[in-house]
Structures are given as C-alpha cells and as structure tokens.
Structure 1
Amino acid sequence: METKVIPVLRIFDLAKAIEFYIDWLGFTIEWEHRFDDNAPIYMQVSRGGITLHLSEHHGDASPGAKVYIETGGVRELHKELTDKKYKYNRPGLEEAFYGAWEVMVHDPFGNRLLFSEKKPS
C-alpha cells in the first residue's frame, strides 16, 4: 500500500495565497473547488514531490501550523527565493544541529513551512 500525507493549511485570502504559494514559492495549482461562487475555496498545490491543500473553510485547519518538508536542493531553493526579493519574506539559510540545511518560510496566515535537506556525511 502506498502512503502519502498531504497537509491542509488554513488560508484567509486567495489573492495573498496565490502571491505567496504560486508566485513566490513556485507551487502550481493542480485543482480548485468551491461549492458555489460565494463559498470558500479548497485547492491543491504542488511543487516537485510536495503537495499541499489550502483551505479557506473555517473547519478544515487552524492557522499556525508547521510543516516539515524533507527534500533536496534547499540551498538552491534559498537562492531562488531570495533572488525574487519578495518584500514580505526573506528567509535565511540555516545549518541545523542534526546535520541539515534548512529554510523556514512563514505564510501570510501564520503557517510555517520548513524545508530541510540532510547534508552528505
């Protein structure tokens, strides 16, 4: 059986979510769902092997979540993000005590994404 975990993150403003997740972080919208034109949005975004669900629905998730993403290319991601000069977020590149490169970003809704890449031994 294949297992996949997809975090659901609470958002409050679709335009800000697109600016952050699509325009700055480089995710792609895979699909969007609304029950009607005046309903909150629920959407799936992805980048590489990372998939997230973003929801405006009040009962889906609480703001302030932290998602740990173990991936490769964290130093390159850091350069890509800082080169975009996004005025609301300038993440650092940290070397974790457990032998990994890390980049932490904070979305406009209080959620945090921690991208982590184990350093070669």
Structure 2
Amino acid sequence: MFNLCRGIQNFMLGKGIHGLVLKGRFDGGLILDSEIMQFYAQCGDLDGAFRVFDRMEERDVVCWTTMITTCSQLGRGTDALILFLKMLKEGVEPNEFTVCSVLNACGDEEELRFGRQLHGAIIKNK
C-alpha cells in the first residue's frame, strides 16, 4: 500500500495511512515498519524515516542500508557513516549494497579517509 503513496502528490495520503497504523496500534513487526520507513525515505523525509527507524524493535540489513543510502543521497554523508558504525556495533553484517552506499557517502575529505579505510578492509578480508 505504501508503494502507491510514494511521490509528492500522495505523501499526505501515506502519512495519513501511517497515522491510522499508529492509532490502531498495529504491530506489523519488521515488514510493516520497514515499509513505512522506506516510504518516508523515498519521499525525501529523512526525519520521518528516522522516527520510524529509531522506534523499530528489530532492524535487518535492509533497514540499515535504506537509512544509510537515504542519508548519502540527501548529502548527509556523516550521518550515513555514523549509522554504518552503529550497524556494525549492533552486530548486523553489511551486504554489498550497504558497502556501496557507505562508499558513496564518503564525499568530503574526512569521510574520504573513512572510505579508503573501508576499501582497504574489504580488500584485506576477501
């Protein structure tokens, strides 16, 4: 359902559906939370995506990668790198999409150093 609401015209409809989910106290678990988070992320509402992400009881690599990618795409490279480090600390194993998003987030000089270190670690662990 949230796939239909992506885009500027249906953003308010999607937010309304999210409100109904919250009022109904649905516990859809990872799948529903992930869909709602991706809805906000794909609409460019990073704050909305973070609100959902922060309250999720469980997060898989797809959830983490969605948030990292969204931060990177919106020019928030430092936030993407912080999320990546938190993901690793929580024991979630990154996949190739996660690594690509983290490397894309390495836009300025400080982040570039991190990107180089990450690249070296990838090469070393192959």
TM-score range, shorter chain: under 0.3
Normalising by structure 1, we get a TM-score of: 0.27
The structure whose residues are more often strand, as a share, is 1
Normalising by structure 2, we get a TM-score of: 0.26
Q: Which structure has the larger Rg? A: 2
The structure whose residues are more often helix, as a share, is 2
Higher relative contact order (CA 8 A, sep 6+): 1
